[in-house]
Amino acid sequence: MIRDKIKKVSDKNDGIAGFIVEHNKIIRNIVIAAVVFFSFCIPFVGINYDLTSYLPSSEPSKTAIDKMEDIFGYPGTARLMIKDVSIYEAKQYKDRIEKIEGVDQVVWCDMGTDIYGSSAFIDAESIKDYYRDGDACMDITFTGGDTSKLTHRAIDEIEDLLGDKCMMDGMAPTNKFIEENVKSEMNMILVIAVVFISLILVLTTTSWLDPVLFLTVIGCAVLINKGSNIFLGTISYITNNICIVLQLATSMDYSIFLLHSYEKEREEGFDNVTALKRGLNSTITTIIASSMTTFFGFIVLIFMKFTIGFDMGIVMAKSIICSLFMVIFLMPSLILSWSDRIDRCKHRSFIPDLKALSGKIVRMGSAALIISLLLAGPIYVAQGMNDFKYGTDATGVGPGTSIYEATEEINSKFGRSNLMVALVPDTDMRMEKAMSEEIEEKDYVKRVMSLADELPEGIPEEIIPKSLTELFHKDGYARLLIYTATRPESEASYRYTDEISDIIESYYPEGAYITGNTPVTMDMEKVLIPDYTMVNALAMIAIFIVVTLSFKSPVMALTAMIPIMMAIYSNMVFPYLAGKELIFIAYAVVSCVQLGATIDYAISETSNYLQIRKTVTDRKRAAELMCEASIPSILTSGLILVVCGYTITILSSIPAISEVGHLVGRGALLSMFFVTILMPRLLTLIDPFITKTFKERLADLRSKRAAGKQKVKDKLNESGARI
C-alpha cells in the first residue's frame, strides 16, 4: 500500500519543488558558478570608514565639509604626545614632522613663544597645554582626510620617527587603527562563531553531518551576499563586519526547517526523492513567511536619512534573500548527494524530555502574563530614559586598545583638544583678525589659527609665498582652525560650539561654513532621533502586516508582537539601570533586527499550536504539546543568535560593532524568555479568534445567547409552577 502511495505521489506534478529536485544537479552547478563569481568580487567591494559621509547633504556640517573639500580639502586630524623630550628636542621633532608628506601643519607652543630664547623668559604656565613635565603635545592637521591613505602613511612615518616616544590619538589615527585591525578581529569572531554554531547544531540535531550541511548552504549565501555588494560600490565598515555573523544567526532556521520536513516525510515511508519533493513543497511557504519578517525588519532601515541605514538595510535584507535562495535551490541537491552519509553519521538526540518543563510553563502562564503586564509600563518608561552617544568618537575604539590608552594618557596630562573648522568669505583681513581674537578670548578656546591671526601686522598677504597663504586663503574663502579644550560630545561642547558659531555668523552673516567633530555630532543627533522613531514604526507596521497575511488574523499578529516588544524594551532597560550610555546607531539598528529576527519564535509557537488544536480539543493540553514541539527550535535559533551576538561583543574592540553584538545577544535571550513563558497563555486566551472563523464565532455567540434566554425561560416557568 505504501509503495502504491509513493508511486501515486511520484507520478503527480509537484510544481516548483518537483522541478528543483528533478533538475537539482543543473541548479547546483549554476549556484556553484554564482558562488565562485561573487567570491572573486568580494575584494573589489569598497569599505567606507568615514561615518560623516552618511550625513544628509542638507545638514549644515555636511554642507561645510563638502564645501571645504572642494576648496581646501577636509583635513584629517591627530594629537601627538612626544614623551621624555626637552622643549628644544620637541621643537626639532616638530620641524621634521612638518616636512613629512601628507602633513599640513603642526600646532605647538613655538607659534607664540620663542623656544630658543632664554628659559628664564619662557612662562611654563602659558605653554602648559603644549609642554609639561618633559612631555610635548602637538595638534596635527593633514592635507588628506582622516581615512586618506596619504594620511595613514604620514602617521606611519611619524611613528617611525619617534619610536617609543610617540603616542597619538584623534580621528585620523583612530580610523587607521580601525581599518588595520577590524578585519583580523572579524575573522577571529567568524571562526569562533562557526565553532559555537556547530556545537549548538550538533546538540540540537540528530546527525554529526547536519552542521556541515547547514553551514555549507549558509556559507554559500554569505559569499554571494558579500560579493553582490559590488553593485553598491562601497559599504560601511560597520555593515561589512556584522553582516556575515548576523546572516549566519538569522537565517540558519531555513535550512533546519527543510531538513526536518524532509526527514519527517521519510519517516512516513517515502523514498529520498519523493520525501524531498514533499518536504520542499510544504516548507517553501513556511520559509518565505519566516524570512519575510526578518527581511522587513532590515529593509525599513533604508528609509533613514542617515544613510548608513540604507547601507545596512540593503546588505542585511539581501543576505536574507540570498539565504532563502540557497536553501530552496542548493540545499535539495546537497541533501540528495549527502543523504547516505548523513544517515551513517546519525546520533541520539541530546535534547532532554520537555514534558515536565512544558507543564510548568503552562501552569505559570497566568502569573507570568500578569507580572509582565504590571512591568510593561515601568519598562517602557525606563527604556526611553537612556542616555545616548551619537558622534563618530563613540564608534571609535574601546578599552584595551593602544589608541584608547593613548587618548586617556594624553587627556589626563594635557586636557582635551577638539577641532572646529570654519570657512568664511575672504573679504576683509582686519575683520577676520578681529573675529579670531574674539574667539580666542574664550576660556575654553586653546588656539585659533587663521592667516589674519598669524600674519604679522603691517605685512601684506601678497609677499607671503602662495604655498603658505593657500593653507588659509583660497578661491575667495578664508579657513580658520579653532581648537577647544572640550570633549567632542557633551553639553558644554554643544554650548561652546553654538557660541563660536554665533560669533562667526555675527561677522559674516552673508554666509559662513562651520564643521568639525562637535558640529557633525550635533547634526547626527538631530537626524538619528527622528530616524529611529520612523524606522521602528515602519518595522512594526510591516511585520504586523506580514504576520496578519500569514495567519489571516490581525489578532494573531498583535499577540505575536506582545512578547517581542516586551523583550525589546527590556533589552534597552539594562543600559539605563547600569547608568551606561548607548551608541545610538547600534540602538536604532538593533531594535529592528531584534523585532524582525525573533518574531519567528512567536510565529513558530502559533503554527504548532494551530496544528495541534486540529486534533486536541483541550486548550491547556494543546499549549503543553506546543511547548514540547516549539522549545527545541526556539533554543536552536535563539542560542545561535546569542552566541553570535556575544562573540562580537567580547572580541570586537570597536564600540559600535561591539554594542550591536551585545544588544543582539541579550535581545535574543530576552525574546526566547518572553516568547516561551507568555505565548502559551496568550494563545489559550485568543484561541476562539484563531481556531474559528468569524462566522463560527458568530454562530457560537448566537448559540450562547439562545441558551441563556432558554435558561431564563426555564427558571421563570419553574417559578410559575411553584406558585
Query: What tens digit of pLDDT does each residue of 464-478 get?
Result: 556 567 778 888 888
Closest CA to 555 of 710, 668, 688, 661: 688
pLDDT digits (tens, 9 = 90+) for 240-277: 888 888 888 888 888 888 888 888 888 888 888 888 88
pTM: 0.83
C-alpha grid cell, residue 231: 553593485
For 310, 486, 505, 519, 712, the CA distances from 495, given in Å and listed in that order, are 31, 11, 15, 11, 75
What is the reported pLDDT for 50? 84
pLDDT at residue 5, rounded to an integer? 42
Rounded distance between C-alpha atoms, residue 678 and residue 435, angstroms: 64
What local confidence, expressed as pLDDT, does residue 392 receive? 75
Distance, CA of 237 to CA of 179 (rounded, Å):
8
The pLDDT value recorded for residue 40 is 95
**Are the CB atoms for 214 and 201 separated by under 8 Å?**
yes
**Position 452 pLDDT exceeds 80:** no
Buried b (16+ CB within 10 A) or exposed e, 522-553: bbbbbbbeebbebbbebbbebbbebbbebbeb
Q: What is the pLDDT of residues 557-607, one digit of tens each?
A: 899 899 999 999 999 999 989 888 888 888 888 888 888 888 888 888 888
Residues 6+ apart with CB under 8 A from 35: 220, 223, 224
